[in-house]
Amino acid sequence: DAGVIQSPRHEVTEMGQEVTLRCKPISGHNSLFWYRQTMMRGLELLIYFNNNVPIDDSGMPEDRFSAKMPNASFSTLKIQPSEPRDSAVYFCASMLWTGSYEQYFGPGTRLTVT
Amino acid sequence: DQQVKQNSPSLSVQEGRISILNCDYTNSMFDYFLWYKKYPAEGPTFLISISSIKDKNEDGRFTVFLNKSAKHLSLHIVPSQPGDSAVYFCAASGSSNTGKLIFGQGTTLQVKP
């Protein structure tokens, strides 16, 4: 199994531009999570999906952030317009929800907004 | 409002000695706790977990202790090895039966040869 795949691994963009982060979860997993890691706040949950349906988006910072999961093998996190304070590492994680809480993380996307 | 807190940003220990990483939580409804380990440029990986019905879980060199009355858990690594140098995240389940986890800020462990 290839594990959770995220692209791009690094993204540098200018303030005001649209940024799209992509995630392919592990095949057969039915839950998908988007996290943001910063020095100040650690790992913050932004949004998660169960069976492709968004369950809790209370962690999404503001309307500039949106996430979709059109099918079981693909999800996107979009920031439009991007701001310098969005600079962080964004992780996607997936899990097969069977009562275990073990999530499998991708390698992350390091976003820099100048 | 940090429901899961790791108050020590960093910890340095000598190879062969014990490493103790601490984590505090505020929500008494949390019923499952996990530790994740993260190397630079990689995603976190699961290390060990404990259910609230237990007070100790052991897996090789790693032991997690849970003190529910104090809302405190700790991870012990014995003996510590240089390869254990990483960031360790504590996480808690919100008992919402959805798999959602709340993570702490992380503690960077350095094990010196």
Residues of B in contact with A55 (CB under 8 A): 98, 100
- Cβ distance B105 to A41 less than 8 Å, yes or no, reads yes
pLDDT value of residue A109: 98
Which chain B residue is nearest to residue A49, measuring alpha carbons?
A: B98
DSSP, res B14: E
pLDDT at B82: 97
Tokens 């003190």 found at:
B67
Give per-residue pLDDT as tens, B49-94: 999 999 999 999 999 999 999 999 999 999 999 999 999 999 998 7
Interatomic CA distance for residues B112 and B17, integer angstroms: 10
Contact A106 B43 (CB under 8 A): yes
pLDDT value of residue A89: 97
Predicted confidence (pLDDT) per residue in A6-34, tens digit: 999 999 999 999 999 999 999 999 999 99
Contacts of B45 in chain A (CB under 8 A): 105
B99 close to A (CB below 8 A): yes
The rounded percent of chain B whose pLDDT value lies above 70 is 96
CA trace torsion B111, B104, A34, A114 (10° rounding): -80
CB–CB contact A107 B99 (8 Å): no
Q: Is A32 helix (H, G, I), strand (E, B) or coil?
A: strand
Q: What is the pLDDT of residues A40-83, one digit of tens each?
A: 888 999 999 999 999 999 899 889 999 999 999 999 999 999 99
**CA–CA distances in Å: residue B35 to residues A43, A79, B89, B93:** 13, 30, 6, 12
Check residue A24 and give its pLDDT: 98
Q: What is the pLDDT of residues A88-106, one digit of tens each?
A: 999 999 998 776 788 999 9
Instruction: Mention every residue, 6+ apart, whose C-beta is less than 8 A from residue A39.
Output: none
Does A56 contact B100 at a Cβ distance shorter than 8 Å?
A: yes
pLDDT at B47 (0 to 100): 96
In chain B, residues with a C-beta closer than 8 Å to the C-beta of A104 are 46
Residue B44 near chain A (CB below 8 Å): yes
Q: What is the pLDDT of residues B86-101, one digit of tens each?
A: 999 999 987 666 678 8
Question: CB-based contact (8 Å) between B53 and chain A?
Answer: no
Reference B73, options B89, B94, B95; nearest CA is B89
Query: Hey, is the C-beta of B105 within 8 angstroms of any chain A C-beta?
Result: yes
CA of A82 to nearest chain B CA: how many angstroms apart? 23
